[in-house]
Amino acid sequence: MSIDLLVAQVPEVTLWLALVAAFGAGAALIGLLALYQMARLGLLARSYRRLAAKREAEIHQLRNLPLGAEASGAKALAEVEPSGAREAGGGG
């Protein structure tokens, strides 16, 4: 049996050899594509891990902010609001 490739012809090849060669070529192609995908996903996972580490560091930094200024500011705001509301309601 001869194999006709569009640009060349391979004379007298047994069927089993042609099938094994086609299977090997397909397996090699799929293997190369799988390696490419694994490398791409590995790099993507690394970038996501870096981003997650940055976000965790930011959350840790925000958790450790001092609350003294905000707490006293909120307390002062709570004291001013009710008195302002009473004045507005009592005048009308």
In a domain, 84, yes or no: no
Q: What is the pLDDT of residue 77?
A: 56
Mean pLDDT of 4-27: 89
Inside any domain, residue 87: no
Q: 23 in a domain, yes or no?
A: yes
Give the bridge partners for 8, in sequence order.
5
Residue 80 forms part of a structural domain: no
**How many domains, in total, are found in the chain?**
1
23 vs 19: CA distance, rounded Å: 6
Residue 56 corresponds to which tokens in the numbers above? 């965790």
The 10s digit of each residue's pLDDT in 34-69 is 999 999 999 999 999 999 999 999 999 888 888 766
pTM: 0.52
